[in-house]
Amino acid sequence: MMPNRGGARIVLAALLAVSSCAGIEKTATIAVQKPTVKSTIPSQQQPPEQIEPVSKSEPPEVELIPVDPLAEVGQLWAAGLVQEARERFWQPDVRALSDGLRSSEWSVWRGRLYMRRWRGTDLGLSGENVSALLSDNDDVWAGTWTGGVARLSRPLDDSVTWDPGNPSLAVRTVNRIRKQNEQIWLVRYGALERYSLRTSTWIREADLPVSERLQDVFLSGNNVYLGTLGKGLWEKSGRNWDFIPQPGIFITKLEPGIGTEILVCTMDRGLYIFEPISGTWSRPPDDRLKESNVTSAVATGDLIIGGTYGSGAFIWDRSTSEVRFIDESRLGDPWVLAVAQSGDWFYFGTFGAGVNAWNTSTDVWDRISLPEGLPSADIAVINTDMDGAIWVGTLGGGIIRVETGIHGH
């Protein structure tokens, strides 16, 4: 039986008509619909939309490592900022390290910031045993135990060597270097020499009354005083040498006193004060000092401060006639070979305990020795320069320049 195609067509046409009408209605609806735009400006009628704050996570905690105070000093020093390194060094947190587990490290930096060393080879000398020093403005003269003589020019940082001091069987120790006018005087064990700064020539004195064991020379006007170890004290006025018997025959040092006075240090009779104009002599009232081996002395006002070989140092107050001794407990060693003054500081060079400094205004003591970088604790001579720094001649370690800033502010 064949299907009724006519009825099927009628049904299909009806479905298509309904579908067509629905599509038209849907299209019309889309055409009239307006897009919704969300305004970012709040209207006066409606409150603005509340925005919840975005929570931020806290940054992780970082453990701060404290900066080492001495490391900061080292960084400034390495950068060439010496003054800044010195100022940082004396701040409380760094200074606190001077007493404790890091005291040795602190001492090394103190020496590094305020000391400088010249070896004998730096000056063309064959030895490191310095026996005499003289500061002459920007120049420093040095003499050695084996007879070496050199002059260091600090601004130019160079030197001139006249005698390297090569070891020999002859005793040629330089015991003293002095300056008068335009001449440098040099006292050797067996000779007295003069160097003219004007003509750059050396002259050797030929008419000496003694040919050996010369210790010191003192220049006062036209008079020359020569101290010897075993042949006494001599004075040259004009052309002749005259022997002065008063202080004995073992003269160790001749130092300036107050005015025209001369301090005469002896090996077996203590200290004398000689006034050349009146020809008078005086001695301290203390019997112990009258018998001491006095190695050096400095006069300042009413005080005479000196060192002895084996009995420490002493302070003689001439206004009260009081003599006070400074023993090994303060100096570290009773053998004091040199004494020098720079401002309120007095420096004692010892044979084994380095340099001990005493401030007369504050009564503070300070020691500069091996912990600070001294190459030797045996100090033979100390001299001061025009800047107030001290020059230290050591036995075995050459020359050290120490600035007074080493004591702190």
- pLDDT (tens digit, 9 = 90+) per residue, 63-83? 556 689 999 999 999 999 999
Rounded Cα gap, residues 281 and 233, in angstroms: 14
- pLDDT (tens digit, 9 = 90+) per residue, 2-58? 444 444 333 334 433 333 434 433 333 333 344 444 444 444 445 545 555 555 566
Entry field: residues in the chain: 409
186: pLDDT strictly greater than 50: yes
Dihedral sign computed on CA atoms, order 399, 139, 402, 264 = positive
Q: What percent of the chain has pLDDT over 90?
A: 78
- In 10 A of CB 36, how many CB atoms? 5
Mean pLDDT of 154-167: 91
Mean pLDDT of 379-388: 96
Residue 69 C-alpha from the chain's centroid? 19
Mean pLDDT of 318-346: 95
**Predicted local distance difference test score (pLDDT) of residue 22:** 40
* Burial zone of 234 (CB within 10 Å; 0-12 exposed, 13-18 middle, 19+ buried): buried
Rounded Cα gap, residues 178 and 17, in angstroms: 137
The b/e string for 333-371 (b: 16+ C-beta within 10 A; e otherwise) is bbbbbbbbbbeebbbbbbbebbbbbbebeeeeebbbbeb
The highest-level CATH class for domain 116-407 is mainly beta
Q: What percent of the chain has pLDDT over 70?
A: 84
366: pLDDT strictly greater than 90: yes
**Predicted local distance difference test score (pLDDT) of residue 106:** 97
**Predicted local distance difference test score (pLDDT) of residue 52:** 57
CB 31 within 8 A of CB 25: no
Rounded Cα gap, residues 138 and 338, in angstroms: 22
151: pLDDT strictly greater than 90: yes
**Predicted local distance difference test score (pLDDT) of residue 287:** 85
**Predicted local distance difference test score (pLDDT) of residue 58:** 65
Top pLDDT among 62 and 167 is at: 167
- Tokens at residue 375, please? 């190459």
**Predicted local distance difference test score (pLDDT) of residue 290:** 87
**Predicted local distance difference test score (pLDDT) of residue 16:** 34
CB 175 within 8 A of CB 216: yes
